[in-house]
Structure 1
Amino acid sequence: MILFISYIASLVALVAGLAAMFGLGRLWRRAPAVPSPNGTRFFGSQVGDRSVINYSYTDMPWRLMAFDIYYFFFFIWALPHIIVPITPTDSGDLAELSLTRGNLFCIAIHIVLCLLQLGFIISIPGLILLPIWTAVLLVAAFFAVNHGLCWLLNGPEVEYHSNSEYAPALPEHAHEQWIFINGVAAGKHWMQGNLDRLALTFKRPILGVHNKTAGIIFDVVECLVQRNLAFATTDVRVCYRIIKEKLYNPQYSKVVFVLHSQGAIEGSLILDWLLQETPQDLLSKLEVYTFGNAANHFNNPHRHIHSQKAALNNPIAASTDATNLASPSAVPILRAPSPNNPPQDGTGPVETTASGYSLVPALTSETSSLSPSSVSGRAIGHIEHYAHTTDFVALWGVLHFATSALSSHSMPRFIGRVFARTSSRGGHQMVQHYLDCMFPLEKHADPAKGFVGCLEEGNEFMESEIVIGAEGEEMAAVREAMGASWLARGDRDSAAGVEIHGGSPVETRGRFRSRVGEVAENGRRETKVKVKELSRLWLYRNGKSPADTPPFLMRDGDGFVRTATF
């Protein structure tokens, strides 16, 4: 694998050099300026922005590689934001760039690895001038040194666990399994910091599958190989086995998959395998949340043709991944009368289309809560992506593929709602830039006791407003779609942990609509919604949970979900 990576690295270096000679100046001039600070945009599953994309992950690998190199230079203006800003380090020792002994050791090793790997790639053409045995010995010596340095960063383990001091296992979360895959350049030290920070934020134990680093340069080349050749490395195969076992385990009703950077490439490959082999009722347990996503695709097919047609007929509704409940024009499914599906005679609280058929799922008074997958009509329960608009990796990944319009309906879409934030702190590091910026911590009154957990009040990102504009009849569709999206998200009172949307889902959406403000400007009507009104991941902060009850479970009087039928 290392020899293959080195070969690809030399090829990429050659092509990148030619691109730099002939096109870098033109691409730099075309590169967008850094957006103004402080703002959040919301995107659905690739409904399209100003740009149009005419290739997808199903194309030939050489074509994908060429586009990746092209867009590497197109977005090169954002490359410094992988590590910038270096300060502040709000999470203390858990932040990747704080001045701790462990962090400084990792940074020093990575600097040495970068110099060694750059020298090796540059010297590859000269090796052909040497006697074959001399060249073989030099290559072997390089890889031995490279492997030894990487071992110092990685250690022998593949699985890691968050420390219990940050989040002990609690009975109310016994039916959940949280799994994390790290991004580029993270050895065991940074991996452990990511796990502990996630545990502190969401008050749950986190299982980590280590995406081991081979040095920054070789990691980037591995990203190209993984996302363009669909190559599954060891950690992809290990994590696939773990997630599949958890989905089949009746103890767990919810598997939450958190991914960062290159880990999202690996996660997209894992989802491809799961979609091929796993029953869809088990996939409905799965929720996926990514940060700085570097993948070129994210699959989550519709469970039936009707919701797919609704998405194609109503792109605004599709933008919230809530096509089944989006508007009166949604395509209905005929449902035979049953005790759980009363006749459509207008006597019950059942929402219907103009033709009189109930939408999918049927909104009856017996439906106290809906799972995200039942509302979205898709196989996997829920997918959310968080990105900074100045993060090079996100620009090269999720923000390029998810926000560009497709040139053909036959091309696969990048699935999942996207929260794209423009911020002066918009770098790429998992803790220092993403979690500290989007899920900041609250400090304990006693500084010696560190942090309490996720900051509940005064979160600038979660309080920021998303403005969705539409004209004429589209406005009704927007409001319906956002209401259905909010319904799938679930909600709880932030203080008491009690449900605030009791009653039928129809009543729930009515309450949501009353909370959404409308403004008229230049003949356009706009709906303003705060990020926290749409972010499902926000509902997991500090040990809380969305109010929806997972399939086959029940909620006891104390509010905890129990395995009622297992």
Structure 2
Amino acid sequence: MPWIFLFPVWIAVVGVALFLGFNRLLCRTLNGSTIVFHSDPEYAPTLAEHEHEQWIFINGVAVGEAWLKSNINRLALTFKRPIIGVHNQPSGIIFDVIECLIQRQLGLATRDVREAYKIVKEKLYNPKYSKIIFILHSQGGIEGGLVLDWLLQELPQDLLSKLEVYTFGNASNHFNNPHRSVAEQTQEKRENSTAAADAFTRTATEPITEASLTDSPVETQAPLPALLQQQQQSTAAPQVNELKSQAQAKVEQQRSKPDATATAGGDHDHLDHPTRIAVPAAHRAISHVEHYLHTYDFVALWGALHFVANKPGSPTLPRFIGRVFSRAAPTGGHQFSQHYLNGMFPLARDESTGKFVGCADSNEFMDTVVEIGEVGVNGGMREGLQSSFAALRRDAEALEAAGVTVHGSFCKPHEEDIRDGNVRVKDLSRLWLYRNGRSPPEIDGDGVVRGLTL
């Protein structure tokens, strides 16, 4: 504000005071009186099949109360689950950017960060919930990263395993998701060792079989990993054995159906029922972390994309862990609903009424063939396409070469979902499998059946 020096000091002080007062009054009007919001039941009523889940969202900069409600209602309509919104209240775009920089560099915990931490921690400790979905946008990625740092320091692994994190236009400079043990970390670092690769392949490739997408959040439609079969012989895991029996019974019941992947109308649409489902990164504290970014989004450019696309100059620099989907589209901006959700999870209309009824089962982004990232995606710092792609292949050589972070997958033998033999975004995106109330099969890398209460 160079013009301020052209006036006497008292005029400059009065001008600044008037600006701050008007800005505060405007922001208070936009923010409302509360910080926690819930999506409207008309977009996603509470259903019994989703009672074990809790979805939580933190917004980005310059989002008032009305826009936050619009965001969580949009999420509710897309995924057919009730959403809790923690309001990152704006203070004006200039002050929001300043706050972003302070939070990002110094770890400032504002009121909404503390509130989000309280909510997520309470939900993780609540035995009613077996799955907590944490969705973050823009500055919300910074705040959510701070929440995760606290949770990783305090919570036991069996609670952290409930958590899944999905970010859009992430402005953070780090995203932690450590290994659960030194042995697992060392094994990944020795990915170029033949002996380590051989041992790794024996677990990563067993089994690879068919597992169709299920509309039920508690139904497991895939044979259980060998590790869970070994647990059956242990007297210390009677509850897990019971879960195995229940899950295997559901598998046999599913196999007895004429066509497990047919749609309600009898059509065999590979877009409606994808069968390539990646098992989570079993050696990480949080099994599922995905980042969705636009290369034309300036916030993503100085945020997540900077740390994903550039080779780190030192192993001590902040790490950015998680599977990254970077979309190069000139129409891709930074707004959550307008650019990210409309571009990656667009809505479908009812032909008779013209109203939005949920997420469209096909779109350009999800049908896009993925490409291998160049710099910064290798070496165990994050889940690059090489490891993700290798996890979708049958041959052990690909698994050995990539040092797979996502351990194995359940593949359909004839690859009907990928007509031309290429891997598409929808084949790697776990969040896509939640659209319209659906749920992916829930077996984690250690053979623990998720979605069922112990």
**Fold in common (TM above 0.5):** yes
Name the structure 2 match of 1:464. Answer: 368
Listed one character per residue, the Cα deviations across residues 41-100 of structure 1 (whole Å, up to 9, x for unaligned) are: xxxxxxxxxxxxxxxxxxxxxxxxxxxxxxxxxxxxxxxxxxxxxxxxxxxxxxxxxxxx
Letter in 2 for 1:465: V
Equivalenced residues, count: 373
Name the structure 1 match of 2:83. Answer: 206
Specify which of 25, 32, 41 is matched with residue 148 of structure 1: 25
Say whether the 8 Å CA contact 2:282–2:407 is kept in structure 1.
no
Structure 1 residue 533 corresponds to structure 2 residue 427: yes
1:372–1:508 distance in 2 versus 1, CA, 3 Å: closer
Say whether the 8 Å CA contact 1:291–1:386 is kept in structure 2.
yes
Say whether the 8 Å CA contact 1:284–1:373 is kept in structure 2.
no
Say whether the 8 Å CA contact 2:281–2:288 is kept in structure 1.
no
Structure 1 residue 284 corresponds to structure 2 residue 161: yes
Structure 1 residue 415 corresponds to structure 2 residue 335: no
Structure 1 residue 306 corresponds to structure 2 residue 153: no
User: Secondary structure in 2 aligned to 1:406?
Assistant: coil
1:554–1:141 distance in 2 versus 1, CA, 3 Å: same
1:554–1:139 distance in 2 versus 1, CA, 3 Å: same
Q: Distance in 2 between matches of 1:139 and 1:202?
A: 45
Specify which of 114, 126, 143 is matched with residue 249 of structure 1: 126
Cα distance, 1:382 vs structure 2: 1.0
Name the structure 2 match of 1:439. Answer: 345
1:507–1:138 distance in 2 versus 1, CA, 3 Å: closer
Name the structure 2 match of 1:453. Answer: 358
1:478–1:144 distance in 2 versus 1, CA, 3 Å: closer
Name the structure 1 match of 2:274. Answer: none
Letter in 1 for 2:432: W
Cα distance, 1:205 vs structure 2: 0.4
Q: Distance in 2 between matches of 1:284 and 1:340?
A: 18
Q: Distance in 2 between matches of 1:413 and 1:462?
A: 27
Say whether the 8 Å CA contact 2:87–2:112 is kept in structure 1.
yes
Q: Distance in 1 between matches of 2:298 and 2:64?
A: 21
Structure 1 residue 385 corresponds to structure 2 residue 291: yes
Name the structure 1 match of 2:442. Answer: 548
1:144-543 pair list within 5 angstroms: 144-314=21-191, 327=201, 339-340=230-231, 375-448=281-354, 450-457=355-362, 459-468=363-372, 482=389, 484=391, 509=410, 511=412, 528-543=422-437
Quote the sequence identity (%): 51
Cα distance, 1:219 vs structure 2: 0.9
Cα distance, 1:553 vs structure 2: 8.8
Listed one character per residue, the Cα deviations across residues 353-373 of structure 1 (whole Å, up to 9, x for unaligned) are: xxxxxxxxxxxx98979x989
User: Secondary structure in 1 aligned to 2:300?
Assistant: helix
Say whether the 8 Å CA contact 2:228–2:448 is kept in structure 1.
no
Q: Distance in 1 between matches of 2:157 and 2:430?
A: 21
Letter in 2 for 1:185: A
Q: Distance in 2 between matches of 1:383 and 1:273?
A: 17
Q: Distance in 1 between matches of 2:304 and 2:414?
A: 30
Q: Distance in 1 between matches of 2:112 and 2:391?
A: 36
Name the structure 1 match of 2:269. Answer: none
Name the structure 2 match of 1:109. Answer: none
Q: Distance in 2 between matches of 1:219 and 1:478?
A: 34
1:145–1:453 distance in 2 versus 1, CA, 3 Å: same
Q: Distance in 2 between matches of 1:372 and 1:284?
A: 16
Q: Distance in 2 between matches of 1:219 and 1:533?
A: 36
Greater fraction helix:
1
Say whether the 8 Å CA contact 1:517–1:528 is kept in structure 2.
yes
Say whether the 8 Å CA contact 1:310–1:324 is kept in structure 2.
no
Cα distance, 1:339 vs structure 2: 4.9
Which range moved further: 506-515 or 241-250? 506-515
Listed one character per residue, the Cα deviations across residues 502-526 of structure 1 (whole Å, up to 9, x for unaligned) are: xxx999646469679899xxxxxxx
Listed one character per residue, the Cα deviations across residues 467-500 of structure 1 (whole Å, up to 9, x for unaligned) are: 4499xxxxxx98885354799xxxxxxxxxxxxx
Listed one character per residue, the Cα deviations across residues 242-287 of structure 1 (whole Å, up to 9, x for unaligned) are: 1011110111111000000111011111111111111111011110
Q: Distance in 2 between matches of 1:243 and 1:336?
A: 30
Q: Distance in 1 between matches of 2:156 and 2:341?
A: 33
1:479–1:185 distance in 2 versus 1, CA, 3 Å: closer
Give unpaired runs (5+ residues) of structure 2.
205-225, 235-243, 252-276, 375-383, 395-405
Name the structure 1 match of 2:218. Answer: none
Say whether the 8 Å CA contact 2:392–2:411 is kept in structure 1.
no
User: Secondary structure in 1 aligned to 2:365?
Assistant: helix
TM-score by length of 2: 0.72
